[in-house]
Protein backbone atom coordinates (compact mmCIF):
# COMPACT_ATOMS: atom_id res chain seq x y z
CA UNK A 1 0.00 0.00 0.00
CA UNK A 2 1.32 3.41 -0.94
CA UNK A 3 -0.20 6.67 0.28
CA UNK A 4 0.78 10.04 -1.16
CA UNK A 5 -0.75 13.02 -2.90
CA UNK A 6 0.02 15.22 -5.88
CA UNK A 7 0.19 18.64 -4.21
CA UNK A 8 0.09 20.50 -0.94
CA UNK A 9 -3.06 21.59 0.88
CA UNK A 10 -5.76 23.52 -0.91
CA UNK A 11 -6.40 27.23 -0.48
CA UNK A 12 -9.23 29.75 -0.48
CA UNK A 13 -11.58 27.49 1.49
CA UNK A 14 -12.08 25.13 -1.45
CA UNK A 15 -14.46 22.33 -0.49
CA UNK A 16 -15.01 23.89 2.93
CA UNK A 17 -11.34 23.57 3.90
CA UNK A 18 -9.49 26.03 6.07
CA UNK A 19 -5.81 25.29 5.50
CA UNK A 20 -4.68 28.46 7.25
CA UNK A 21 -6.67 27.78 10.42
CA UNK A 22 -5.54 24.13 10.57
CA UNK A 23 -1.93 24.98 9.60
CA UNK A 24 -2.23 22.33 6.88
CA UNK A 25 1.17 23.17 5.38
CA UNK A 26 2.84 23.48 8.78
CA UNK A 27 5.85 25.79 8.53
CA UNK A 28 5.99 25.41 4.75
CA UNK A 29 5.16 28.36 2.50
CA UNK A 30 2.46 28.02 -0.15
CA UNK A 31 -0.49 25.77 -0.97
CA UNK A 32 -1.80 23.84 -3.98
CA UNK A 33 -0.82 25.60 -7.20
CA UNK A 34 2.32 27.10 -5.67
CA UNK A 35 5.82 25.84 -6.36
CA UNK A 36 6.94 26.79 -2.86
CA UNK A 37 7.48 23.74 -0.62
CA UNK A 38 3.93 23.96 0.78
CA UNK A 39 2.62 23.32 -2.72
CA UNK A 40 4.97 20.53 -3.83
CA UNK A 41 6.31 18.77 -0.73
CA UNK A 42 4.06 15.87 0.20
CA UNK A 43 4.43 12.73 2.32
CA UNK A 44 4.70 9.21 0.98
CA UNK A 45 3.89 6.30 3.25
CA UNK A 46 4.57 2.74 2.07
CA UNK A 47 3.49 -0.46 3.77
CA UNK A 48 4.54 -3.82 2.35
CA UNK A 49 4.79 -6.47 5.09
CA UNK A 50 7.80 -8.70 4.67
CA UNK A 51 9.38 -6.44 2.03
CA UNK A 52 9.56 -2.86 3.31
CA UNK A 53 10.84 -2.70 6.90
CA UNK A 54 8.26 -0.98 9.14
CA UNK A 55 8.97 2.11 11.22
CA UNK A 56 11.69 3.57 9.03
CA UNK A 57 11.83 7.09 7.67
CA UNK A 58 14.04 8.59 5.01
CA UNK A 59 15.00 12.03 3.81
CA UNK A 60 15.49 10.78 0.24
CA UNK A 61 14.24 13.42 -2.18
CA UNK A 62 11.97 11.92 -4.80
CA UNK A 63 9.20 13.18 -7.05
CA UNK A 64 6.17 11.66 -8.73
CA UNK A 65 8.16 10.96 -11.91
CA UNK A 66 10.04 8.40 -9.79
CA UNK A 67 6.96 6.26 -9.14
CA UNK A 68 6.79 4.59 -12.58
CA UNK A 69 10.47 3.53 -12.64
CA UNK A 70 10.06 2.21 -9.09
CA UNK A 71 6.95 0.20 -9.95
CA UNK A 72 8.65 -1.17 -13.07
CA UNK A 73 11.63 -2.32 -10.99
CA UNK A 74 9.36 -3.89 -8.38
CA UNK A 75 7.40 -5.73 -11.06
CA UNK A 76 10.53 -6.85 -12.91
CA UNK A 77 9.38 -4.91 -15.99
CA UNK A 78 11.56 -2.89 -18.31
CA UNK A 79 11.45 0.82 -17.49
CA UNK A 80 10.52 2.89 -20.55
CA UNK A 81 13.37 4.97 -21.96
CA UNK A 82 13.38 8.75 -21.90
CA UNK A 83 11.90 9.18 -18.43
CA UNK A 84 13.05 11.75 -15.90
CA UNK A 85 12.31 9.43 -12.97
CA UNK A 86 14.68 7.31 -10.90
CA UNK A 87 13.58 4.17 -9.06
CA UNK A 88 13.55 4.58 -5.29
CA UNK A 89 13.34 0.81 -4.66
CA UNK A 90 16.76 0.83 -2.89
CA UNK A 91 15.35 3.36 -0.41
CA UNK A 92 12.17 1.31 0.11
CA UNK A 93 14.07 -1.87 0.85
CA UNK A 94 17.04 -0.24 2.57
CA UNK A 95 19.37 -2.15 0.23
CA UNK A 96 21.72 -1.14 -2.55
CA UNK A 97 22.84 2.22 -3.78
CA UNK A 98 20.13 4.83 -4.20
CA UNK A 99 20.65 7.05 -7.23
CA UNK A 100 19.78 10.70 -6.71
CA UNK A 101 18.52 13.41 -9.01
CA UNK A 102 21.05 16.01 -10.10
CA UNK A 103 18.11 18.42 -9.75
CA UNK A 104 14.31 18.48 -9.79
CA UNK A 105 12.43 20.86 -12.07
CA UNK A 106 8.83 22.06 -11.96
CA UNK A 107 6.88 24.49 -14.06
CA UNK A 108 3.28 25.56 -13.88
CA UNK A 109 1.67 27.93 -16.35
CA UNK A 110 -1.12 28.74 -13.88
CA UNK A 111 -1.00 31.44 -11.22
CA UNK A 112 0.93 33.79 -13.50
CA UNK A 113 3.56 31.28 -14.66
CA UNK A 114 6.05 29.68 -12.29
CA UNK A 115 9.26 27.67 -12.47
CA UNK A 116 11.22 26.03 -9.67
CA UNK A 117 14.40 23.99 -9.33
CA UNK A 118 15.53 21.90 -6.38
CA UNK A 119 19.30 21.48 -6.38
CA UNK A 120 20.36 19.64 -3.23
CA UNK A 121 19.49 21.92 -0.33
CA UNK A 122 18.94 24.85 -2.71
CA UNK A 123 15.49 25.75 -4.03
CA UNK A 124 15.07 28.41 -6.71
CA UNK A 125 11.76 29.84 -7.81
CA UNK A 126 10.41 32.45 -10.13
CA UNK A 127 6.81 33.61 -10.31
CA UNK A 128 4.57 35.89 -12.38
CA UNK A 129 6.52 35.08 -15.51
CA UNK A 130 3.56 35.88 -17.77
CA UNK A 131 3.90 39.48 -16.55
CA UNK A 132 7.57 39.53 -17.56
CA UNK A 133 9.12 38.77 -14.18
CA UNK A 134 12.56 37.16 -14.52
CA UNK A 135 13.60 37.45 -10.86
CA UNK A 136 14.83 34.21 -9.35
CA UNK A 137 14.39 33.75 -5.62
CA UNK A 138 16.80 31.35 -3.90
CA UNK A 139 16.35 29.57 -0.60
CA UNK A 140 18.58 27.24 1.42
CA UNK A 141 16.10 24.58 2.56
CA UNK A 142 18.57 23.13 5.08
CA UNK A 143 18.52 26.43 6.96
CA UNK A 144 15.13 27.82 5.88
CA UNK A 145 12.52 25.12 5.18
CA UNK A 146 9.79 27.78 5.23
CA UNK A 147 11.41 29.67 2.32
CA UNK A 148 11.29 32.97 4.19
CA UNK A 149 14.71 34.44 3.30
CA UNK A 150 15.69 35.00 -0.32
CA UNK A 151 19.48 34.56 -0.50
CA UNK A 152 19.84 34.97 -4.29
CA UNK A 153 22.01 38.08 -4.00
CA UNK A 154 24.54 36.13 -1.92
CA UNK A 155 24.85 33.20 -4.38
CA UNK A 156 24.97 34.49 -7.98
CA UNK A 157 26.66 31.34 -9.33
CA UNK A 158 23.84 29.12 -8.04
CA UNK A 159 21.24 31.53 -9.41
CA UNK A 160 22.88 31.39 -12.85
CA UNK A 161 23.03 27.59 -12.71
CA UNK A 162 19.30 27.29 -11.94
CA UNK A 163 18.50 29.89 -14.62
CA UNK A 164 20.20 27.62 -17.17
CA UNK A 165 18.30 24.59 -15.85
CA UNK A 166 14.99 26.48 -16.10
CA UNK A 167 15.72 27.42 -19.70
CA UNK A 168 17.01 24.01 -20.77
CA UNK A 169 14.28 21.94 -19.08
CA UNK A 170 11.28 23.83 -20.45
CA UNK A 171 9.46 22.03 -23.28
CA UNK A 172 6.83 24.09 -25.14
CA UNK A 173 3.29 22.71 -24.91
CA UNK A 174 0.21 23.85 -26.84
CA UNK A 175 -2.31 22.53 -24.26
CA UNK A 176 -0.38 24.21 -21.43
CA UNK A 177 1.20 27.31 -22.95
CA UNK A 178 3.99 28.78 -20.92
CA UNK A 179 5.75 32.01 -21.72
CA UNK A 180 9.36 31.61 -20.71
CA UNK A 181 11.66 34.56 -20.48
CA UNK A 182 15.12 33.14 -21.18
CA UNK A 183 15.79 31.98 -24.73
CA UNK A 184 12.39 33.20 -25.97
CA UNK A 185 10.98 29.66 -25.98
pLDDT in tens, 152-176: 999 999 999 999 999 999 888 888 7
pTM, two decimals, is 0.87
Confidence of residue 184 (pLDDT cuts 50, 70, 90): very low
**At a CB cut-off of 8 Å and minimum separation 6, what does 121 contact?**
140, 141, 142, 143
Q: What is the pLDDT of residue 92?
A: 95
Name the average pLDDT for the chain.
Answer: 89
Q: Percent of the chain, pLDDT > 70?
A: 95
Q: What is the pLDDT of residue 115?
A: 95
Q: Per-residue pLDDT tens for 20-59?
A: 777 677 787 887 888 988 888 888 999 999 999 999 899 9
Are the CB atoms for 165 and 103 separated by under 8 Å?
Answer: yes
Are the CB atoms for 178 and 172 separated by under 8 Å?
Answer: yes
**At a CB cut-off of 8 Å and minimum separation 6, what does 156 contact?**
none
Burial track 8-19 (b if 16+ CB lie within 10 A, e otherwise): bbbbeeeeebeb
Query: How wide is the angle at C-alpha 177 spanned by C-alphas 35 and 150, nearest 5°?
Result: 25
Give the Cα separation of 130 and 114 in Å (integer).
9
Mean pLDDT of 56-70: 94
Name the residue among 86, 172, 167 with its Cα closest to residue 124: 167
184 HSE (CA, 13 A, CB side): 0
Q: Is 105 helix (H, G, I), strand (E, B) or coil?
A: strand
Confidence of residue 1 (pLDDT cuts 50, 70, 90): very high
Amino acid sequence: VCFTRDNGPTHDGAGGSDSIFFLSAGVLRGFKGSLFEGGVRVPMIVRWPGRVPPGRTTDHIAAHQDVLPTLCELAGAKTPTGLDGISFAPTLFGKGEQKKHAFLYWEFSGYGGQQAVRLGDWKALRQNMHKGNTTIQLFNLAKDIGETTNVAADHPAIVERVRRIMTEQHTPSKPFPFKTIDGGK
